[in-house]
Structure 1
Amino acid sequence: MTQKVPGLFAPGELDPAADLIVLPDGLRIIGLDLSLTSTGVALPDGSTYRIKTRAKDGDRRLLVIRDSIRADLAEHRPHLAVVEDLPVHAMAAGRTGHVHGVVKAVLLDADVPYALVAPATLKSFAADHGNADKARMAAAAYLAADAKFANDKGGDMCDAWWLRAAGHDALGAPLFSMPQAQRDRLHKVNWPEAYRQRYVMGAAT
């Protein structure tokens, strides 16, 4: 069983209902904050939701996450997925690693290239602090684009939103202005070679 818990759209250019998104070459990026219990997803149109699973379903939760993301890829056909990488030292890394394996297989099946962003790098990019907590990440999203997220106590949708924003920023289609020092944090990410050849960091070629 899965429950899609919607978030709120950021206003203006980030509100898909406003139909104001203009991207170079129609660039579509999906952000994924993977978790066995609550995966945050930021779709290419800027909307966010969570894939909630039940502990009693055991490993079948992997299939729920797989099927939901597979449906998103089929519907939205993203050019790139930006995924939060596994934490280096965390007890939950093993369980989350199972989710990573399943989702990477889905992305490979769909021929969607992906980039892995370390948690500290994402936090530094978003909030200028490698140990920023969920509240600080949410505040940074609000300051950057008036973005708010409903039912997001764990910060899953917020992180996914920032992952999508990082992909746009790094590949020359920033969604909002940011200090250059924070943008430079994205140089640590190993972006797919096809995109590195097409875009210079921070400016489309």
Structure 2
Amino acid sequence: MTALFAPQIPTATTAAGPRPLRVCGLDLAIGATGICLPNGTASTIKPALKEDARLVEIRNKIGALIGDHPTDLIVLEDVPATMKGAAGKVIPMLHGAVRAVLLDLGLPYIVIPPSTLKAYATGKGNADKTAMAIAALKRAEREFADDNQCDAWWLRAAGLDWYGQPEFDLPKVQRERLAKANWPEAVTR
């Protein structure tokens, strides 16, 4: 499949030459965080702790999972601009805790707005969770236990697609939506 975009380095490189990029998707939420590992395995982190201790629990579990799976790039879904109430306060804190662990691990990451991810997956920036799941089933015959895993999988797919390694076909107009994100120019490990 031909890459829609031409980043400077479309694949990660090793001494032996190019290899597939290892991308992880993270859909951060305090009640249930979706993660899609570089091998495409999706799971949900549901914290057992309460209050702010959940921030540490989720951060540590993400750090451990990523530590067990070599990763070149993390793709995060951004905090929705319209989020209010308690979630509007704690989700940015969770983003800070997770970004700190990614920085500690030396992993590059990108943050994609929810509307960009939805438009990439479905063609509509205001798509609901059901539309995201239907699009995953239609495009890749993938089903998920919950919408957190589904979003994390789409985040991983977006990273692979942007760097010229799409796992399935999408209409050009949907793929072009990824240009709205501020992607790192090159990803190497």
What band does the TM-score fall into relative to the shorter chain?
Answer: 0.7 to 0.9
What is the Cα deviation at residue 77 of structure 1? 1.8
Residue aligning to 1:171:
163
1:109-148 matches, within 5 Å, as 109-148=104-143
What is the Cα deviation at residue 131 of structure 1? 0.7
What is the Cα deviation at residue 93 of structure 1? 2.6
Q: Which runs of 5+ in 2 are unaligned?
A: 1-11, 13-17
Q: Distance in 1 between matches of 2:173 and 2:100?
A: 34
Pick from 95, 98, 105: which aligns with 1:100?
A: 95
Question: Does residue 1:71 correspond to 2:71, yes or no?
Answer: no
Pick from 24, 27, 47: which aligns with 1:53?
A: 47
Question: Does residue 1:190 correspond to 2:149, yes or no?
Answer: no
The superposition leaves residues 42-77 of structure 1 with CA deviations (integer Å, 9 ceiling, x where unpaired) of: 0111010001024x6211111110111111121112
Root mean square deviation of aligned Cα = 1.4
* Conservation of the 8 A alpha-carbon contact between 2:20 and 2:165: no
* Conservation of the 8 A alpha-carbon contact between 1:170 and 1:186: yes
Amino acid corresponding to residue 45 of structure 2 in structure 1: I
Q: Distance in 2 between matches of 1:173 and 1:75?
A: 22
What is the Cα deviation at residue 88 of structure 1? 0.8
What is the Cα deviation at residue 97 of structure 1? 0.4
What is the Cα deviation at residue 121 of structure 1? 0.2
The superposition leaves residues 110-161 of structure 1 with CA deviations (integer Å, 9 ceiling, x where unpaired) of: 11100100000000000001110010000000001000012x1xx1100000
The superposition leaves residues 160-204 of structure 1 with CA deviations (integer Å, 9 ceiling, x where unpaired) of: 000000000001110111111100000001011334xx8xxxxxx
Residue aligning to 1:3:
none
SS at match of 1:108: helix
Q: Give every structure 1 segment of 4 or more consecutive aligned residues whose post-TM-superposition deviation is greater than 3 Å.
A: none
Report the TM-score when normalising by structure 1. 0.80
Report the TM-score when normalising by structure 2. 0.86
Pick from 5, 30, 42: which aligns with 2:36?
A: 42
Q: Using CA pairs under 8 Å that are at least 6 residues apart, name the structure with larger relative contact order, 1 or 2.
A: 2
> Number of matched residues?
170
Q: Which runs of 5+ in 1 are unaligned?
A: 1-22, 199-205
The percentage of counterpart residues that share the same residue type is: 48
Q: Distance in 1 between matches of 2:62 and 2:141?
A: 26
Residue aligning to 2:55:
62
